[in-house]
Structure 1
Amino acid sequence: MRKRFYGRVVLYGHVVPVRLYGLVVLVLLLTAGCVSTNAQPVTPAPTSRTPAPAKVARPWRPGDPQLGAQVLWYAYPGETDASVRTNALRLVNHMVGKHMNALSVTFPFVTAGPTASRVTASAETPSVRHLAMLLDTAAAAGLRITVRPLLDEKSLVAQDPLAWRGSLAPTDRTAWFRSYEAFLRPYLTLAARHHANTFVLGVELTSLEDDQHWRTLIAAARRLFRGELSYDANWDDYVSRHVPVPVEHLGVDAYFPLPGLGDDATVAQIAAGWERWLDRKSTGKLPRIVLSEVGIIAEKGAYRHPAVWKGGGQPDFTVQKRWFEAACQVARDRDMAGLYWWNLDFHADPATPSDSLTSFVGRPAESALTSCFRTWPR
């Protein structure tokens, strides 16, 4: 491979003037025996490349349900191109094997505190370059792609144990949204250039949803990304009111508490509890709603507080499995636009069950999600 610049050529590590370049190449080719009156094209020597991913049996098409998982990516120090490509290939192959047709990548950004008026990337935010590698691998497999930045809550909780991303109160909202737009800009460009179908402009930002700055932010996003713009609301926010963020589709992070159910509850009972929650908003089909997060810790008592993942309780993998089965049943019965399980760690080997009870990998819940997607009508 050569680089051409300012009248010179770098050839095998040596700088050669352009006027001599043709002669040098001819001499080299003749010396190698590559030029003759019957010359054939020279076949390049094989190079090592990342293997191609497995292919989705039936790629997503408009009107199909989005059947996938949230890939949670907190960057590690020292991540390399090679490690990112390896992890991306391993993860995408696993998802294809579980009958998924969609991938949503969730990654963090930060703010200094609940009243701060600025957001930024952090050391744990994956680089645009590395995210592009995952998106390209997913696209090569035929997976539908969503890009989903998520405000990390560690700095909020450090100042107020009750604070969370849904209770932000920036001192200067104009500055906050201006900062947020600047942060999103390279990721919107990434989404536009690397096959993304959807960009989630916000996740669980309940206290800011009524702000008029969303319209300016959406207009700016439209100039960079022509795909679908979405917003993911928290479960209680969704059922209690109209979510006013003016995007095309709405996702719901679905952690509906069912305090009346014991650990021996049936799938039908859990599904009925979900239906009662959804009926608070509307009955019947919900073809424009995506369940953007569905997950639960594999512990006894988890039905009472599925959004609490502190751990330390008594393990119960059946609790997790039945929750997944019920969520699948409800999403299918309501004709929802899709469902994303929470979550797959970008760095974890999905062939090895995690020690954490928050994971579904290698557990009965994973067989439930596989069956859900394999049998979902399309």
Structure 2
Amino acid sequence: MKFIKGVTFAPFVPSGCLGTEEAKESLVKMKERTGADFVILAPGAVQATPISEEIDFRSERTMTDAELIDTIRQAKSLGLRVALKPTVNCADGTWRGHIHFFDVDVPCEPKWGNWFASYTAFQLHYAKIAEEEGCELFIAGCEMVMTEIREKEWRKLIADIREVFHGPVSYNTDKYQEGHVNWWDAVDVISSSGYYPADDWENQLDRIEAVVKKFDRPFFFAEAGCMSTEGSAAVPNDWTVRGGLALEEQADFYRAMFAACEKRDWVSGFGLWSWNWCLPECARAQQEKGYELYEKPAEKVVRNFYETRK
């Protein structure tokens, strides 16, 4: 698999954001300033709670199809390869990894079968767009930890996606979960979220390598990143960390991640988290404590790394 020098662009934005002049300009800057040759677009759907059966991807909380298609076409005009990663979130703020139902159907209780029917409709909608627009990769969801035990349903979903999308298919499991997905043989590419402590990359890569070898599939980190908040490099997956501004800590995290992964020829790239659709003024961007890369030292680390990759 060709190395993915990727960034996730404008994840989960509502309608009215993509397709604007601000978003178009931001995508151009993302490519120029990071050296990326790949972009991941993540349409965000919503279910009310982690035990709700219905997934809504047609409201104003989700980018419109026209906006998404326009962004795909712009990305391709810039020479970027494109992946779609439709992702569901919970409206009540619960992390999607906690979506779960009873193992056995019980009358008057929400059921796996109903949820997977809704999730399949959501995924197939975007798989058709990915096919029609010539996307290079389709990622069938992100960090759905407690759903991953439903192997039969996931295999059926992947098979259904292949009926409408004829490119490679992946799935983005969460950090530390790579060895707990038993159906990696159903996808073409294994991917996970690389939010590992800056000083623990070697241990985690040793563990992931065993999974990659077992299933004999290409692998990349469909997400990876660290906030520019003091303490985030130790727990980069925790967006609730509160501390002072730590721009160099974020940059050092990227240096550590790239240095460790560069020694592993089976790591085939990254979909770094993230790049906003509307960029702030430089001074404001440099005070921002989240995962964003724009105008921070980490941005230069990413560009230097990506520009050296062939």
How does the TM-score come out when normalised to structure 2? Answer: 0.86
Residues 288-367 of structure 1: pairs in structure 2 closer than 5 A:
288-310=218-240, 312-335=242-265, 336-348=267-279, 354=285, 355-358=287-290, 359-367=292-300
**Distance (whole Å) between structure 2 residues aligned to residue 280 and residue 96 of structure 1:** 32
Match of 1:96 among 28, 31, 48: 31
- The aligned counterpart of 1:70 is 8
Aligned-residue offset at 1:312: 3.6
CA pair 215-88 structure 1, distance change in 2 beyond 3 A = same
The offset of 1:333, in angstroms, is 1.5
Any unmatched runs of 5+ in structure 1? 1-62, 158-163, 259-269
Measured on the aligned residues, the alpha-carbon RMSD in Å equals 2.3
Distance 2:14 2:212 in 1: 42
Letter in 2 for 1:338: G
TM-score (norm 1): 0.71
**Equivalences for 1:1-378 in 2 at 5 Å?**
63-76=1-14, 79=16, 84-97=19-32, 98-121=34-57, 122-157=59-94, 164-170=95-101, 171-211=110-150, 212-238=152-178, 240-245=179-184, 246-257=186-197, 270=199, 273-282=200-209, 288-310=218-240, 312-335=242-265, 336-348=267-279, 354=285, 355-358=287-290, 359-376=292-309, 378=310
CA apart distance, 1:351: 6.3
Q: Secondary structure at the match of 2:61?
A: coil
5+ residue gaps, structure 2, are: 102-109
Between structure 1 and structure 2, the one with the greater Rg is 1
Deviation at 1:76, TM superposition (A): 4.5
Tell me the secondary structure at the aligned position of residue 256 of structure 1.
coil
Deviation at 1:353, TM superposition (A): 5.1
Whole-Å separation in 2 of the counterparts to 1:190 and 1:368: 33
Identity between Structure 1 and Structure 2 (%)? 22
Select between 306-315 and 321-330 the one with higher mean Cα deviation. Answer: 306-315
Distance 1:275 1:84, change over 3 A: same
Stretches (4+) displaced over 6 A: 284-287
AA aligned to 1:181 is T
